[in-house]
Chain A
């Protein structure tokens, strides 16, 4: 018997199955590539042959694509990433006080006290200080992002690179390259720029206390862990399933919800073979001009989003 968690993020779509002791038995890390429906379907195709529909006791979704994923799979719980990450971290270690989470398009800090979230912050209007910044620079240096951390650790010193925004950083980095600094030093400099940006922007005014969890896709980068430890002077812990924490949290929340409600809404793995279509149109009912998205499964409408008055969509569960 398993609990399914789905985290549809901007860069990756993660699926996990937890057993009844909340242990991870299956984890899938897929690229979203701007097609959340296809990504969820792909994951389900992989799970379909191994697990039966009735083995899933509860399903939860999170991430920026949580609503659409929930409509698709019939989720019992739809939760924002912040709560999901906090739940997963607390389940891993009850002593966590600070969670640093850096994903593809957003970064967050979550402050916990006595097992509850007491404060949090997310990056504001742009993606500076997030994984996409590193991704972009890796591309420019023609170094695979997976190898970034190793390069950074090999360098003995680092060059200072402006971290305010990816555009600033890029021109600064090019200048430094032209001066002849080696790649390792520049990459380590980039990690420091990102950490500086995170601490001055997202984490500004927040108390960072031990024990610190570092999760999200960027935690794979050893250079980032080292840069955080250097700046904070505290050891940073990377949980085993650092890139699955959102999905794990969603599964745990779904488990709790179903235990209260008594039954699951999970629609089963068969949707892997369905044909999904999404159409958007501008509603002409009033001057609001809402952009409505209509999701169809095998030509049956399964969900509508985007309208303000509730004319098209039903009220979404929170």
Chain B
């Protein structure tokens, strides 16, 4: 058994730590690139959403390296993502690749017993005892929390750093070093080391950077290729960004959801505009927009793949929030295009808008 998995932001760090510690064979697909998208869209239905196509690209590139088992997460929520695993299994089958799929789903939907059985399947190739396997899982969870923390910190501090570009450099270096590690333990050490480094980045106290919240559909906000590296771009402009949806957030949400203890703040904040779950992460999107306003952010950018039903609903609600709270929100729809000029124009214009608003407000003080 040789396991692979689709990319989604920093997930591959945790996956590497997990598989290394379990001692199972695995393939990390090459980081998502135009190549993966090209392969993915060649084999996928034309009307399916962008994440599906990219994921197929990831699988195909991993299959080239000998992968025979796919580990993905499922969802029984009312959004196309819930069908991904079945559709992808069929699609790969039709292409002559008979892969085994391990679908990790919420215990609320498949039951704790089934979840444990599926988790157990991952480690069938492992020679370690249950305690060691449990430790491997714990380390992987630590890794995903840490890498998301490093990333969030670097993105936020980018607006305040005294030496422009320092945070980005640390973040890039951190990822390069972390992926070289061969065990969860050493990866955790590296990540902690870089977290310390970020804590020591010289801060310019006089700076009042533009702060933007990244909201929207979970895959396209997390996977940088799909949103044309929007966070890197904003970092270059010296803008602080915050994104609530991360792999670690997802994990926490998954664990807490059976007890209904998940995302209490989001539920509270979104209540006025969208009081129910309509699928995908539409409610999160609305809640995050309100939260971003209350936390003093200057604006928010919503990103979603073309045709994403839940986010189309939230897109229709956002102008109301924007008007009620005088809080600029811009929507970006992503699809197969990789020409960046149009996106850069919109992002720059949005930043201009926020800057001029800020100046105006200050001049009135």
Which A residues fall within an 8 A CB radius of B?
Answer: 64-65, 79-83, 106, 114, 116-120, 122, 124-125, 205, 286-289, 291, 308-309, 315, 318
Contact residues in B for A287 (Cβ distance below 8 Å): 30-31, 33
Contact residues in B for A309 (Cβ distance below 8 Å): 172
A293 to B322, CA, bound (A): 39
A289 to B349, CA, bound (A): 28
CB<8 Å pairs between A and B, sample of 28: A64-B341, A80-B344, A80-B346, A80-B352, A81-B349, A82-B345, A82-B349, A83-B352, A106-B342, A114-B360, A116-B353, A117-B349, A117-B352, A117-B353, A118-B353, A119-B322, A120-B349, A120-B350, A122-B345, A122-B346, A124-B306, A125-B306, A125-B335, A291-B34, A308-B229, A308-B232, A318-B237, A318-B348
A140 to B353, CA, bound (A): 40
Inter-chain pairs besides A80-B345, A80-B348, A288-B31, 20 sampled, C-beta below 8 Å: A64-B345, A79-B352, A83-B352, A106-B342, A117-B349, A117-B352, A118-B328, A118-B353, A119-B328, A120-B349, A120-B353, A122-B346, A124-B306, A124-B333, A125-B333, A125-B335, A205-B316, A289-B35, A315-B165, A318-B351
Which residue of chain B is the closest to A87 with respect to CB atoms? B352
In the complex, what's the smallest C-beta–C-beta distance from B333 to chain A, in angstroms?
Answer: 5
Contact residues in B for A315 (Cβ distance below 8 Å): 165, 236
Q: B34 near A289 (CB under 8 angstroms)?
A: yes
Q: A118 near B345 (CB under 8 angstroms)?
A: no
Contact residues in A for B229 (Cβ distance below 8 Å): 308
Contact residues in A for B197 (Cβ distance below 8 Å): none
Q: Please, what's the 1-or-0 string for B325-356, where 1 marks a CB less than 8 Å from any CB in chain A? A: 00010000101010001101110111111001
In the complex, what's the smallest C-beta–C-beta distance from A34 to chain B, in angstroms?
Answer: 13
A318 to B349, CA, bound (A): 10
Which residue of chain A is the closest to B164 with respect to CB atoms? A315
Q: A64 near B342 (CB under 8 angstroms)?
A: yes
Which residue of chain A is the closest to B341 with respect to CB atoms? A64
A42 to B357, CA, bound (A): 39
Of residues B322, B335, B341, which shows the largest number of chain A Cβ atoms within 10 Å of its Cβ? B341
Taking a contact as CB atoms closer than 8 A, the residue among A116, A122, A291 that contacts B356 in the complex is: A116
Taking a contact as CB atoms closer than 8 A, the residue among A65, A118, A119, A289 that contacts B33 in the complex is: A289
A65 to B342, CA, bound (A): 10
A286 to B31, CA, bound (A): 9
Contact residues in A for B353 (Cβ distance below 8 Å): 116-120
